[in-house]
Structure 1
């Protein structure tokens, strides 16, 4: 069977597993959300990359000598519905590449990336991100048990902070404008100056 090298070789209405994903050699970047292919936006804007880089510098220096690891995209994160047991690769149907993620459980780290929910995910939105894509990831991260999720809007200079509650549902914990200090719920000693994050 010929290797999959182009998106046109795949059925975009089909359902695929992580095992399928590992065999593809696509030029385009894609994610799998509940078995469905989601094509990622073309190369992000300079503003997106600047904000992502500034956040990575801030997180990287904070976690440098701590047990948690920080990763920046592209970095595969395989996710499961926590209500179901962890299954073999062939039965995992979601793999995403968050802009930034923090992982404190070293057992989740593999040569391929992260096997299970990171503690904290940050997505930096681009103008090309659709509402559907944003909603899909919100639902996926919630049901997978990502304990904290930030949505960063570079053009509006706003950060939305969501934290899982006792019922494993996201609650909006903070809404930070670009001139404030933002602190993750999980790591309150990390103070992020958003003036620096959004600086060109």
Structure 2
């Protein structure tokens, strides 16, 4: 099997709609927000039929029951984190082949348009049930679910709608001052 490692030096490489994008390592605030969200979801899912996949996991955004297109495998997308329920995924090389139930992207300066427009359209068009865009610059969480978009503050307890009884609150997160 060919080497499917898409990280070149300190850059993450991903493919969105057939276009190759490279992004630098994120700011430490990205890591703090990511850790809080990932750990909250990971703890909640313990013993449940859903699995959370961390950043740097290559995702081929396809139904694993359909024939897998080699282009999808060679051109993965790399969300910050995603959840797949009921084992509706397949591992092919280094790629998870799935349509996740939940995806969360944490905005970086270089990814604002990508996360808010391009990836949002892609994820929702492929059948992702819930998509979060977390912006630590303005301390907001945009939730796309069931055809609606809602914006929350880091002060709010934000429900992960696909679960109902899981909420994430970022009000106590310590962020570095970026001035």
String of CA shifts for 1:102-136, please: whole Å, max 9, x gaps: 11131404152421211000000012224255321
TM-score (norm 2): 0.83
Counterparts in 2 of 1:92 and 1:20: CA distance versus 1, 3 Å: farther
CA shift at 1:142, angstroms?
1.1
Greater share of strand residues, 1 or 2?
2
Counterparts of 2:109 and 2:20, CA distance in 1: 20
Contact 1:101 1:118 in 2 (8 A): yes
Q: Specify the alignment match of 1:177 in structure 2.
A: 153
Q: Specify the alignment match of 1:92 in structure 2.
A: 72
**After the TM superposition, which parts of structure 1 deviate over 6 Å for at least 4 consecutive aligned residues?**
none
TM-score (norm 1): 0.75
SS in structure 2 opposite 1:128? helix
Contact 1:121 1:149 in 2 (8 A): yes
Counterparts in 2 of 1:156 and 1:125: CA distance versus 1, 3 Å: same
CA shift at 1:160, angstroms?
0.4
Among candidates 99, 105, 124, match of residue 123 of structure 1? 105
SS in structure 1 opposite 2:30? helix
Counterparts of 1:20 and 1:37, CA distance in 2: 18
Counterparts in 2 of 1:20 and 1:53: CA distance versus 1, 3 Å: same
Q: Specify the alignment match of 1:141 in structure 2.
A: 123
Superposed CA RMSD: 2.5
SS in structure 1 opposite 2:91? coil
CA shift at 1:179, angstroms?
0.9
Give structure 1 stretches of 5+ with no counterpart.
1-18, 166-170
Give structure 2 stretches of 5+ with no counterpart.
none
Contact 1:142 1:164 in 2 (8 A): no
The structure having more radius of gyration, on CA atoms, is 1
Output aligned runs, 1:1-200, within 5 Å: 22=4, 26-27=8-9, 28-40=11-23, 42-80=24-62, 86-92=66-72, 94-110=75-91, 112-132=94-114, 134-165=116-147, 171-172=148-149, 174-196=150-172, 198-200=173-175
CA shift at 1:87, angstroms?
3.7
Counterparts of 2:123 and 2:110, CA distance in 1: 20
How many residues align? The count is 171
